[in-house]
Structure formats: structure tokens, C-alpha cells
Structure 1
Amino acid sequence: MTDQLAVVTVTYSSGDYLKSFLDTLALATEAAPRVVIADNGSDDGAPEAAERDYDRVTLVHTGANLGYGGAINRAVAEIDPAVEFIVVANPDVAWGPGSLDELLAAAARWPQAGSLGPLIREPDGSVYPSARQVPRLVAGTGHAVLGAVWKNNPFTRAYLDADRADLERPVGWLSGSCLLLRRTAFDEIDGFDSRYFMYMEDVDLGDRLGKAGWQNVFVPTAEILHTKGHAASKNPELMLPAHHRSAYRFQADRNPGALRAPLRWALRAGLAVRSRVAVKAARRELNRRQS
């Protein structure tokens, strides 16, 4: 199984999260997979310590901050193409016992699965809606506009698809915080689109896998814990605009041509306004917590 599986992650001053990631990984699978860390410019010494202290860990310095998808592509390039499955995961993931073996077992049940994702729990124990539908233009706009003020609106409810969190099933896309990827599928679509510096790269990946004939399968019997958004919550002025730029890129790519230019202009303007509002709200909340 060691030759069947490899793990990749991306660091950017991830601190103690990386140690927890590696310590709990030993509980996730009976294999001893190789781990490749793509470092985007950490200054905390954690990636170097991981390579020194853990067997089968390889550190790759990307030479710049490539973003998440670009760095994952760089890490995957270090792995022998004969390795059948690649695990892509954030360094702030803590693995549940047997979680990767559960994903591998599901991959055998779903031979057309290009990606498989676990049930993701938040630090408070709640379930994060990690298995979602692809946001098409109308539904995505409805979710973006109404999601913050009317959480149970039909667009958001359909997009999150949260009512079936206990059912193993194909979905539109899976959270990139933890994915088991079939290498042939990943290579077929040329991996992550590195134009997405941060956010939406997983939505784009799942959508392109689906269009190429692969499935994205949610596996709730595999569980992980994800300390979601610790960087985003501390840097809303950087992270939230990046999220909105990626949302625009996703929809613009899927609505090309001169006839749809007015749609793209309206979408860009609307997302810019929404981004400014979101940053102000996040900053107020951050100041409230700090005080």
C-alpha cells in the first residue's frame, strides 16, 4: 500500500499544525506513505523540522508563494506517476483513525471516482458542508447575494447540499482541504489550475473532473478535523478579496464570449461590492474578539 499512496501538503508558516498533521497521519492508514511538503515561503522553521524529524517526509521549497493549487502541482510532480493515489490536504488537518484507509476502500467501490473526500469536522465538533454542488451562474449569484442575510435560502441550501451528510454519494465538488485523488484523473485534467491563487481551486478541480467523466465521491465514514480558515480569519483584507476574485474567475471562465460580457461586468462589479462589505464585517468581528 505504501507504493499505492502518497501525501502532499502546502505550508506557509503553519507552525504546530504541521506536527499534528504528521502525528495523526500515522493513525489514518496502515501504510507509511511518502509525504511531500511544498513550502511557499515559511519563516517559522516548521517544514525544515518536519523533514528532519519524520521519516519519509520530503521538503520542496517552491521559491515563491505559488498559492495553494500551484504548490500542490509542484509537490505532485515530485511523486512517481506509478503511485495510484495522491492525498492532498491542508497542514491544519488532524486525521481521524483509519480515515485514509476508508477513502482507499471507497475508491475501490467507486472505480470512476477521480476524487474522494471525507466528512470534515470543525473544532467545535460540527460538520462542515464539504460536499457541494457546482455553483452555476444563477445559483451561485443567488447564494453569494443571499447567503449572508438569508442562510436558508433555496440557492444556498441546494449549493451546500448539507441534508445528506451521512450518505456516501457522488457530488459536484469536494473541499480541497482533504482529497484522495486518483493520479490518472489528476494528470488527465492537468492538476489544479494555478491561476487560482487561493480559494475556488477545489471547485474548479471538481467541476473539471466531472466534465472529464470522473466522479467526486463524498465518503462520510472517513473523518478528519480541520481548523478551518485560521489564516483567513486573521487577514480578512487579503483573504476575502482573494476569495471574490477567484469566484469571478470561476464564473467568467464558464461564461465566455462577447454576448456574455455584460454578465461578466455585472458579476465583477457585484462581487467587488460584496468583497468590500465582507471585509468591513470581518474586521469589525475581529476587533470585537480582540477587545
Structure 2
Amino acid sequence: MADPRVLVVLLNYRTPQMTLRAAQSALADMPAEAELVIVDNASGDGSMVIFERAASEWNLGARLRLVQSDRNGGFGAGCNIGLAQRMSDGSAPDFYYLLNSDAFPDPGCIRTLLDHLGRHPEAGFAASHVRGEDGVPHTTAFRFPSIAGEFEGAMRLGPVSRLLRHAIVAPPLPTGPTQVDWVAGASVMIRAATLDEIGTFDETFFLYFEETDLMKRAARAGWTCWYVPEARVVHIGSVSTGMKEWQRMPAYWFASRRHYFVKTHGRAYAAAAWAARLGGSALHALRCALTGRRPQDPAHFTRDLARHGLGLRPGIAGAPPRGTATEDRP
């Protein structure tokens, strides 16, 4: 029986050298019949020239292809360009493997994810264990957001977390293969049949919540999502977004959050989730002020959340440019 057709999708935004490093790691781990597509998300910085030069030097033929987007519609829109590609012989892929441009698979990662989906025909997604260059694991397996989860995550208080433990959005990482609600897209294998049924990323999300929405739609259609810690990648994180230098959450985070809740649960639920997050954040800020602790929310977060929920654009300074290939969770 022939190996399944796997198309690896790498999205670049102004990190060409890092993307090439990720491409080399992927190529070294890909099954023989797999192919790699690098999508440049309208970087406008000469990235495609660098990719074309590397492709010529590597001389991999159809195993490596380059696609230039004519606009930067965000993470999901860029990924959708890759997900629209076919194999070089014109056939449709059986699986897609999304890899961030600053993520580097360990040997055997791709095959492990592929084999897991092969053993679980009901599974639409299988994602890796992700660690930083320092070896510290990144939290990449989650529960779907809820009103209770919004309040718990904002409060950050032990008794509240224990009371609402079943709603915690980011629980401790499983130690073995585990079915979860959704996973971050740094390194995830996707069954093509799942996307054929539910569609690809909702491009209304510029950045954040696009995977949450995709996997929520899949869950409603009966597909499962798995975290597979035996498949491992190193992930630097925040290279394209500049998130580590953010002084304030950008407006599109608030917009994506609201769009997710309205789309998934309706306006009344979205309003309740906003109130829960706002109330929890305000109580967290008050507790920090009374105890002298440093708040864990970004600067002006509670005020910006309140303004956005009231239909006022948050006054956000220093937000990154509208473009990204990678993402991290606040």
C-alpha cells in the first residue's frame, strides 16, 4: 500500500533565514513521498528572492515549492493558501502538516504524527510536544474557552482554579497521547478529509483563535484532536509577531476573541464571557495592588478589554505590524 500523500506547509512573514532553517528540519524528517510548500505572506522584504536562491541551490525539484501571497490576510489566510495546494502530480494530499517558521522537528516527529492519525481514523488533528530552545515545554494543548474558563484564567487564584478546574483552558500537559479540545498550530498534522468536510481557517481571524475555531468546528462534526508528546519539536516563538516586546495587547487579539465567542456561542454568551474575563481581570489587578505583586496581565489590559467590549477601539500603542507567520498564546 502506497504511503499517504503529505503536504508540509510553512508560512513565512519577514523571517526568511529562520524559515529556511525550519524547512531544512522538515525536509530531513519528511517521508520520502511528502512535499513542502513555503508560502510567503506578502512580506515585502525580499524573502522570496532568498527562497528562490535556496531552492535553486538545494535542487529538490517538486519536493519543494514556493508560493507568493499577494496580500497579508493574517495567519489563517496565509495557511489557507498552502492548504489549497495539491501535490506536484496534481493529486490531492491525504494529510497536511502545518509547521511554524520558527519550529524545528526532532527526528521522527512527522512520522509519529502521521502514524497516530493512521491508528485513529476518527482523528482530524494530531499535534506535537513543543519545547523552547531552553528545553522548557510550551503549553500547546487546551480546552475550549468558556465563561467559567475566562473567569478562572483572569483571576489566577488557587481556590478559584480548584473550584473551576474542569474549565481551565490551559491544563497541565498530558504525559501520553491524549484527546484534547484544541492545539496550537506550531506543529500539527491535519487529515485532509476533515478540512474537506468543515472547511479551512476562518480568515476573519487575523491572528489568534483561528485554530480554536477550526478545531471547534471539527469537534462539532465528530472529528477528534490529539496531543502526541512522542512527536517533538523545538519552537523559538514570537519571531514574526514580536510578541515578547509587546507592551500592550494588540486590537486584533480582542477582535479575534470576540469573533470566536460570537460565532461559536452567540452574542449573549459572548457578552457573558467578556464580563467574566473583565471581572476576573479587575479582581486580579485589585489583588495585586493590595499585595504589592506585579499583575500578570499586559499593561492597560483590563481597560482595553472593557473598551473593546463596549465597542470602543482600545488605545493600543506599540502593537506589531499587521502580519505574522507564527503565533503564541498570552
Q: Which runs of 5 or more residues in structure 1 are unaligned? A: 284-291
CA RMSD of aligned residues (A): 3.2
Q: State whether structure 2 residue 39 is matched by structure 1 residue 31.
A: no
Q: State whether structure 2 residue 116 is matched by structure 1 residue 116.
A: no
Aligned mates of 1:211, 1:229 — CA distance in 2: 31
Q: State whether structure 2 residue 229 is matched by structure 1 residue 220.
A: yes
Q: Report the residue type matching 1:105 in the other structure.
A: D
Q: Report the residue type matching 1:246 in the other structure.
A: S
Q: Which residue of 2 aligns with 1:286?
A: none
Q: Work out whether residues 252 and 264 of structure 1, in 8 Å CA contact, stay in contact via their aligned partners in 2.
A: no
After superposition, where does 1:1-291 map in structure 2 within 5 Å?
A: 4-42=5-43, 43-45=45-47, 46-54=50-58, 55=60, 56-80=63-87, 82-143=92-153, 145-147=154-156, 153-154=161-162, 158-164=168-174, 166-230=175-239, 231-233=241-243, 236=246, 240-257=250-267, 262-263=271-272, 266=275, 277-278=300-301
Aligned length: 279
Compute the TM-score of the two structures, normalised by the length of structure 1: 0.83
Following superposition, the deviation at residue 47 of structure 1 comes to: 3.4
Aligned mates of 2:26, 2:129 — CA distance in 1: 16
Q: Work out whether residues 40 and 61 of structure 1, in 8 Å CA contact, stay in contact via their aligned partners in 2.
A: yes
Compute the TM-score of the two structures, normalised by the length of structure 2: 0.74
Q: Work out whether residues 5 and 84 of structure 1, in 8 Å CA contact, stay in contact via their aligned partners in 2.
A: yes
Following superposition, the deviation at residue 152 of structure 1 comes to: 9.2
Following superposition, the deviation at residue 272 of structure 1 comes to: 11
Higher Rg: 2
The alpha-carbon distance between structure 1 residues 235 and 101, as it changes in their structure 2 partners (threshold 3 A), is same
Q: SS of 1:213's equivalent? A: coil
The alpha-carbon distance between structure 1 residues 32 and 82, as it changes in their structure 2 partners (threshold 3 A), is closer
The alpha-carbon distance between structure 1 residues 271 and 236, as it changes in their structure 2 partners (threshold 3 A), is farther
Q: Per residue, is there more helix in 1 or in 2?
A: 1
Following superposition, the deviation at residue 197 of structure 1 comes to: 0.6
Aligned mates of 2:234, 2:131 — CA distance in 1: 5
Q: Report the residue type matching 1:190 in the other structure.
A: G
Q: CA-to-partner distance for each residue in 1:34-70, whole Å, 9 max, x for gaps?
A: 1112211221434334443442222211101111111
Aligned mates of 1:44, 1:272 — CA distance in 2: 42
Following superposition, the deviation at residue 146 of structure 1 comes to: 2.3
Q: Work out whether residues 39 and 47 of structure 1, in 8 Å CA contact, stay in contact via their aligned partners in 2.
A: no
Q: Which runs of 5 or more residues in structure 2 are unaligned? A: 283-296, 305-314, 319-330
Following superposition, the deviation at residue 6 of structure 1 comes to: 0.8
Q: Which residue of 1 aligns with 2:328?
A: none
Aligned mates of 1:189, 1:152 — CA distance in 2: 36
Question: Quick one: higher RCO (CA 8 Å, sep 6+), 1 or 2?
Answer: 2
Divergent runs of 4+, >4 A? 149-152, 154-157, 259-262, 264-276
Q: Which residue of 2 aligns with 1:287?
A: none
Identical-residue share of aligned pairs (%): 24
Aligned mates of 1:95, 1:214 — CA distance in 2: 25
